[in-house]
A and B are shown apart, each in its own frame.
Chain A
């Protein structure tokens, strides 16, 4: 029990020290398992397109941001419960999510979802398709008539196809394209489907002040072309650019 008491003491101490305005630190949550969107690099730090983008947005909005990782499954419940302030995790805007949380301006255009498989001529309509739990792709597969197998992380969906547990993976094209490039056994099927909107920052619905700041920062990055440059840097030509 002693460490409990100690940590409680540490908490009260930190609490009495550090209180100032409501958003002196903006906590940014990401999944850390979705390269090149967001991943944990070899030094153990959060890295990727969204890390670089988020840091730039915070700079422009003059916010003091801190990054943390949270499992995809519970990323929305923890946001609305107030454990962090934003979700920056390759989350596409959908109507269902929009009912629960708010989204900023979209920072990428809608990315078509692709299938990868070990069989380039696979007929996906009767196949076993792997997708990550709680993604737009998972609900698409479930309603498409194919058999859905769900996994907690994107990485496991690809592993499932490689070891024969599933016939194909359905995920964002920008995630799958580099994997198909690198792995000789996996092929991108020529069957892209467009589900969901672009990707945006998820925020609490009550947090309209923070949303306004991020919207302004995203718009300024769109206007001066830095956002497009960043997309090219991380995705080559796998992701569409803003006009």
Chain B
């Protein structure tokens, strides 16, 4: 990056370090922090959506929907994350390719499974094998978001389901007495009030999601833990910047990053709880009312 970095062997001390920390590999490492943040920012609302739909289905008056909602939460919560991330993604990918095969190559007559190989026609590959690498990366990232959203959505669904049940029943009865329809009661009374009950559980999930991001590497996305391990490992003389095992320092850096991220999240959730507690029939809402008078 700097002009004096052309021959790393001649450098020492701080100049060596400044060149080392700005070489191409480190820039990729810094970029991977953005990947992790992007994953969090996209996955959190997506899992909330999955959770909300799951909880609504589990609450539904229509029996098949209710079974679907309960089935989703029980099955996904019961499967170990790592199993889910290792096998589900390959299955999902193959499922997509199979569907595309049905549409794009209707006259394909060879079997899809030949021995161990999974083979679809070239037009059905997802992404196409001749697509540029960034398309493959975006696709991998989208699969990661979808998988994370399904897993964390199941937990969120359970939290939201519990929160919906925690809204005082008198509120719903009052709404009914005012002549609101079931739909109106749901959207105007139940949903706005349940968030404050859901928040502690959801903030837990958010913290778990932050800590689960290293699972990204299982999905083929190179995240900060992958790069820290790769950069910190002992480097022999084949490399321009040989060094002994420095993983401790890299992982210390990650520790600081994760602690900062969780601390900031705690503060944000604190503020959100205070905001949502206004006028609520909860202990926190009561405290707010007293403080105001």
Number of interchain pairs (Cβ within 8 Å): 147
Query: Contacts A178-B237, A182-B236, A205-B116: A153 and B229 contacting too (C-beta < 8 A)?
Result: yes
The reply to whether B25 and A40 contact each other, CB–CB distance below 8 Å, is yes
In the complex, residue of chain B having the shortest beta-carbon distance to the beta carbon of A64: B130
Q: Which of A8, A64, A82, A178 has the most CB of B within 10 A?
A: A82
Binding-face segment, B42-50, B167-175, B251-259: B42-50
The reply to whether A14 and B132 contact each other, CB–CB distance below 8 Å, is yes
Total count of chain B residues near the partner, CB < 8 A: 59
The reply to whether B131 and A18 contact each other, CB–CB distance below 8 Å, is yes
Binding-face segment, A53-61, A69-77, A123-131: A69-77
Binding-face segment, B73-81, B238-246, B271-279: B238-246
- Residues of chain A in range 160-207 having any CB-CB distance to chain B below 8 Å: 162, 178-179, 182-183, 204-206
A103 contacts B by Cβ under 8 Å = no
Binding-face segment, B86-94, B186-194, B260-268: B86-94
B34 contacts A by Cβ under 8 Å = no
B223 contacts A by Cβ under 8 Å = no
The reply to whether B24 and A82 contact each other, CB–CB distance below 8 Å, is no
The reply to whether A7 and B139 contact each other, CB–CB distance below 8 Å, is yes
Which listed residue (B23, B123, B142, B245) contacts A7, Cβ 8 A? B142
Which listed residue (B90, B142, B218) contacts A8, Cβ 8 A? B142
B70 contacts A by Cβ under 8 Å = no
Q: Tell me the bound Cα distance from A83 to B120 in angstroms.
A: 12
Query: Contacts A179-B236, A204-B117: A74 and B86 contacting too (C-beta < 8 A)?
Result: yes
The reply to whether A80 and B217 contact each other, CB–CB distance below 8 Å, is no
Residues in chain B near residue A11, CB distance under 8 A: 126-127, 135, 138-139
Residues in chain A near residue B139, CB distance under 8 A: 7, 11
Which listed residue (A4, A33, A42, A85) contacts B129, Cβ 8 A? A85
A25 contacts B by Cβ under 8 Å = yes
Q: Which of B8, B27, B135 has the most CB of A within 10 A?
A: B135
The reply to whether B234 and A80 contact each other, CB–CB distance below 8 Å, is no
The reply to whether A41 and B236 contact each other, CB–CB distance below 8 Å, is no
Residues in chain A near residue B23, CB distance under 8 A: 42-44
Smallest Cβ distance from A142 to chain B, in angstroms? Answer: 22
The reply to whether A15 and B239 contact each other, CB–CB distance below 8 Å, is no
The reply to whether A159 and B94 contact each other, CB–CB distance below 8 Å, is no
Which listed residue (A45, A100, A179) contacts B24, Cβ 8 A? A45
B287 contacts A by Cβ under 8 Å = no
- Residues of chain A in range 23-67 having any CB-CB distance to chain B below 8 Å: 23-25, 27, 32-33, 35-36, 39-45, 48, 64, 66
Task: Kindly supply a per-residue 1/0 record for chain B positions 164-201, scoring 1 wherever the CB is within 8 Å of any chain A CB and 0 otherwise.
Answer: 00000000000000000000000000000000000000
Residues in chain A near residue B49, CB distance under 8 A: 1
Task: Kindly supply a per-residue 1/0 record for chain B positions 114-127, scoring 1 wherever the CB is within 8 Å of any chain A CB and 0 otherwise.
Answer: 11111110110111
Residues in chain A near residue B97, CB distance under 8 A: 82
Which listed residue (B90, B145, B234) contacts A159, Cβ 8 A? B234
Residues in chain A near residue B132, CB distance under 8 A: 14
Residues in chain A near residue B133, CB distance under 8 A: 66, 68
Partner-B contacts on A (CB < 8 A): 1, 3-4, 7-8, 10-11, 14-15, 18-25, 27, 32-33, 35-36, 39-45, 48, 64, 66, 68-71, 74, 77-78, 80-85, 100-101, 153, 155-156, 158-159, 162, 178-179, 182-183, 204-206
Partner-A contacts on B (CB < 8 A): 8, 23-25, 27-28, 38, 42, 45-46, 49, 86, 90, 93-94, 97, 114-120, 122-123, 125-133, 135-136, 138-139, 141-142, 145-146, 217-218, 220, 222, 229-230, 233-234, 236-242, 245, 247
